[in-house]
Amino acid sequence: MNLIIPKNYENKLSVFQTQLAIKKLKDFFERQLAYELNLSRVTAPLFVNPETGLNDNLSGIEEPVSFKVDNNQEVQIVQSLAKWKRMALYNYKIKEKRGIYTDMNAIRKDEIPDNIHSYYVDQWDWEKVISKDDRNIDKLKEIVNRIYKVLRITDEYITDEYPMLSKKLPESIYYITSQELEDLYPNLNDKERENEVCKMHKAVFISQIGKVLKSGKSHDGRSPDYDDWELNGDILVYNPILNNAFELSSMGIRVDKDSLLKQLDKANKMERLKLDYHQAIVKEILPFTIGGGIGQSRLCMFFLEKAHIGEVQSSVWPKEMVSECSKNNITLL
C-alpha cells in the first residue's frame, strides 16, 4: 500500500466546512481561469467510440474502461479529453485567441490508489486556438504564467475565506526543461528530481515531457499524439503537508502534422494514423491549439491542506488504506 501519513496531521476544516470550501474554491478558480484565458464553458462526453481516436492514451499502457451499446458497439469511458477538445474547437468554429473548457470526469481503473491518485479523475480540461506562429516556447510560457496568476489569486482568496489556512505559492514560477533537471540530478529518478526542484523553488514548470533524454529514458510518459514533446510540460508545486512535489496541471501546445508523424514513429504507434483524429491532423484540418488539464480534487487538496485526495472527493479505496487513514485523523469522504 502506497500511503504517506503526515506526522501529527490535523484537519483545519471539519468535513462539512471542507464540503463548503470545495464549492467555493472550484467556483472561484473556474471563473478566474475562464477570464484569464478567454475560455467559454461547454459540455463534454463521458464516453467515446474508440475508432474515432479521440480517447486519451495517457502514457500508452492504461486500458480504458469500456462497455457495449446498441448492435454490440464498444464505447470507452474517456481517460481525458485532450483530443476531443481540439476536434470540438474545429466543430464549433472557435476563432483564434478564444477557447473552451469543460468538467472532465473519468475512470482510470489502472491507477494505484495513494494520497494523490484515485480511480476517479476530475479535472478542468481546457483548449485554446492559437496561430501557427504561436507554436513556440514563448507562447507556452505566456499561458503558464497566466494559469499561475490564477493559482496565486486563488491562494489569496481561499486564505481570506479561511484564515486558518496558509498561503503557499511564491511570486513567480520557475522554469526548467526535463533535460536540465536530469543534468542537475543525474543520480535520481524522475519523481525524486521533481521533489528536489519543488522543495527549492516551490512552484515549477517542467517542460519537454515525453521526449527521450540523454540517459535514454523519458521524464514521465506522454502519449505521442496530442502534446508536442518539445512544447509541453507540467505545473508542479511543493506540498508542505506531504513534503513532496505535487502536480496540478499537465499541458502543452498540440502536435502539428510534422510533430505527430515524428512522435508516432518514435513511439512505434504509426498504426494510429488510420484513426479519424489523426487523419484530421495529417490533412491539416484541425486548428493549431494549446490546452491542458487541471486537477479539481488535486487543487482542492492542495489549497485546503489535505493529506489524502479522498478528503475532497468520494471514491473507493483499499480497505487497509481506509483503516490506516481513520487511525490518523484522515477522514475519507
Only one residue has cell 526543461, namely 177
- Mean pLDDT, residues 167-193: 95
- pLDDT of 182 strictly over 60: yes
- Mean pLDDT, residues 134-160: 97
Only one residue has cell 514533446, namely 229
In whole angstroms, give the CA distance from residue 324 to residue 47: 34
- Mean pLDDT, residues 90-94: 94
Grid cell of 135 as nine digits: 507554436
Torsions phi, psi of 183, nearest 5? -60, -35
Q: Which residues contact 126 (CB under 8 A, 6 or more apart)?
A: 33, 37, 39, 85, 99, 100, 101, 102, 291, 292, 293, 294
Q: What is the pLDDT of residue 179?
A: 96
- pLDDT of 8 strictly over 80: yes
Q: How confident is the model at residue 143 (pLDDT cuts 50, 70, 90)?
A: very high
- pLDDT of 125 strictly over 60: yes
How do the domains of the chain map onto residue ranges? 15-327
- Mean pLDDT, residues 192-221: 93
Q: How many CB atoms lie within 10 A of CB 110?
A: 13
Q: Which residues contact 168 (CB under 8 A, 6 or more apart)?
A: 155, 202, 237, 238, 240, 302, 303
Catalytic residues: 56, 108, 123, 234, 247, 250
Q: What is the pLDDT of residue 253?
A: 96
Nearest to 76 by CA among 64, 61, 87, 63: 64
Q: How confident is the model at residue 193 (pLDDT cuts 50, 70, 90)?
A: very high
In whole angstroms, give the CA distance from residue 14 to residue 331: 9
Q: Which residues of 302-331 are buried (b: 16+ CB within 10 A; e: fewer)?
A: bbbbbbbbbbbbebebeeebeeebeeeebe
Q: How many CB atoms lie within 10 A of CB 134?
A: 19
Taking a C-beta distance cutoff of 8 angstroms, is the pair 270, 282 a contact?
no
Higher pLDDT residue, 135 or 10?
135
Average the pLDDT over each of 174-178, 213-217, 220-224 and give the range with the smallest value.
220-224
Higher pLDDT residue, 267 or 301?
301
In whole angstroms, give the CA distance from residue 85 to residue 81: 6
Q: What is the pLDDT of residue 60?
A: 57
Average the pLDDT over each of 44-58, 79-93, 107-121 and give the range with the smallest value.
44-58
Higher pLDDT residue, 80 or 46?
46
- The CATH H-level superfamily of 15-327 is Bira Bifunctional Protein; Domain 2 (3.30.930.10)
How far is the CA of 323 from the CAs of 1, 150, 162, 208, in angstroms? Answer: 12, 36, 29, 39
Taking a C-beta distance cutoff of 8 angstroms, is the pair 69, 48 a contact?
no
Q: How confident is the model at residue 22 (pLDDT cuts 50, 70, 90)?
A: very high
3-state secondary structure of 92: coil
- pLDDT of 247 strictly over 70: yes
Nearest to 127 by CA among 178, 165, 85, 184: 85
- pLDDT of 124 strictly over 80: yes
Q: What is the pLDDT of residue 111?
A: 85
Grid cell of 180 as nine digits: 536540465
- Mean pLDDT, residues 176-194: 95
Q: How many CB atoms lie within 10 A of CB 109?
A: 11
Q: What is the pLDDT of residue 227?
A: 92
Grid cell of 137 as nine digits: 516556447
Instruction: Give residue-wise pLDDT tens across range 271-285.
Output: 999 888 899 999 999
Length of the chain: 333
Q: What is the pTM of this model?
A: 0.91
Mean pLDDT score of the chain, rounded to an integer?
Answer: 92
Grid cell of 113 as nine digits: 490508489
Q: What is the pLDDT of residue 107?
A: 85
Q: How many CB atoms lie within 10 A of CB 270?
A: 12
Instruction: Give residue-wise pLDDT tens across range 36-74.
Output: 999 999 998 888 887 777 776 665 567 788 888 878 888
Q: What is the pLDDT of residue 222?
A: 85
In whole angstroms, give the CA distance from residue 317 to residue 303: 22
Query: What percentage of residues in the chain have a pLDDT greater than 70?
Result: 98
* Angle of helix 137-161 versus helix 296-303 axis, rounded to 10: 50
Only one residue has cell 512535489, namely 245
